[in-house]
Structure 1
């Protein structure tokens, strides 16, 4: 019984850590996106993770950032296991997997594949987008609670912590925004503003509408990319096991998709 309990605890810890690894472009967990196809604790305590992206040609930079996030998650496991990470069905899968197997650091593997791109600058770009998306969600949730714009923008960190923003989803985003805020400014304390721009400028109430419009544009772009990624992944791996005659991406491209009737089922032309 104790062995089974230990195995379950380890499995739970593994998945809990993996859920904190985000797709950098979308700021959504790689587990929610379906990119982690398998994560298993073996009998000897080692860990194996199989990772698959939506398309064969996904940017190696994005792959690097997510794989490096997974590596950090596995390095943080309490029992310090040996682990294997495998990237599947990607144009650089062989190179990446050989590099990992050879013990090369991810930074070296990345430099070999994408020497023309600054990985730190890329990380920073995605950090800015994640900060803005989380901030907008919390600002809108507070508005929904009936607070005025001046009350929201006047919040310090202590009053923000005490504020109620709505249901479980809103509270989760509140926590994620606070995390991003403190990551950006580690020394931030309770008396400092809860809502500032990425470069730490106050947001004047008379400019709040324009600022929200800027945040909205970031969110819409991220949501579109997220929907595209999910659709591409679902279509790509559904081609081998099409359910109920559902069309693939190839069908859409070749205009082979029959119309649907009022029940949502496809009708033959």
Structure 2
């Protein structure tokens, strides 16, 4: 594969790698610092908003990036490096040795990597469900929240929010048929009508937390690496309008990316 084609394929592969907490591609967030591809060799360097972003988040993204690139036809050698993180050396050694999560962190890795992924899949589904249903409520002012339990996936318009919800449901193994109820828990069970307003408020709080952290992390990255602004794709608000946040001050950090513990995933 020619170098230009391999590089384009590598970039597309990285587009499928998501920050587990922020639920956005690492390419859109500006986390890909550099990408080189030639003669089957691909090297990627990643950067994060702070040096103390949670190591489990950092490892997940770096490991997923390596897996996505290794799967490319024509990729003979893949190197993924995490820059400027307090655990860069540890993570980079683990990735180079294909040691896995537990092999990299040893006794500090109290949870299995798949458990971490499942936590974030559930949060992403909750937020996506709220976005799609809130958009429906705005489009149909006469629809009461209590009746959202009657809404099925086929009632949702074909929008980016609906497509995102379908992807999140598929990732959890939930039904995606048009007749499936839209408002469900993480196991696919509908809520009793009396619980729906409370459940929707909870889902909204999850979505606001994710969106707020995404804004904050983008600002922190631009503060730390001014050139990263050119690599960040504009975010879209619930109604499709571009939204973004001003750079945050030095010394501050978002909730999820600020922790130095490996198990803070609540």
The structure-2 alpha-carbon separation of the partners of 1:117 and 1:164, relative to structure 1 and needing over 3 Å to count, comes to closer
Residue number in structure 2 paired with 1:11:
7
1:85 Cα shift?
0.5
Residue 135 (str. 1) matches residue 125 (str. 2): no
TM-align CA RMSD: 2.9
Residue 120 (str. 1) matches residue 114 (str. 2): yes
Residue number in structure 2 paired with 1:219:
207
SS of corresponding position for 1:85: strand
* Larger RCO, structures 1/2 (Cα 8 Å, 6+ apart): 2
Residue number in structure 1 paired with 2:45:
50
Which sections of structure 2, spanning at least 5 residues, go unmatched?
Answer: 228-245, 253-266
Could you list the structure 1 runs, at least 4 aligned residues long, displaced by more than 6 angstroms after superposition.
Answer: none
Deviates most, 109-118 or 14-23: 109-118
SS of corresponding position for 1:63: helix
**Aligned partners of 2:102 and 2:112 also within 8 Å:** no
Residue 90 (str. 1) matches residue 85 (str. 2): yes
Which sections of structure 1, spanning at least 5 residues, go unmatched?
Answer: 166-170, 240-245, 253-269
- Deviations along 1:50-108, one digit per CA (max 9) or x if unpaired, are 0011111111111111112112211221334321111111111112222333x233324
**Aligned partners of 1:64 and 1:110 also within 8 Å:** no
Distance 2:250 2:55 in 1: 24
Residue 199 (str. 1) matches residue 195 (str. 2): no
**Aligned partners of 1:133 and 1:215 also within 8 Å:** yes
**Aligned partners of 2:6 and 2:37 also within 8 Å:** yes
**Aligned partners of 2:184 and 2:190 also within 8 Å:** yes
Aligned residue among 159, 169, 172 for 1:181: 169
**Aligned partners of 2:62 and 2:81 also within 8 Å:** no
- Deviations along 1:8-56, one digit per CA (max 9) or x if unpaired, are 43333222221121111111111111111112222x1221110011111
**Aligned partners of 1:49 and 1:84 also within 8 Å:** yes
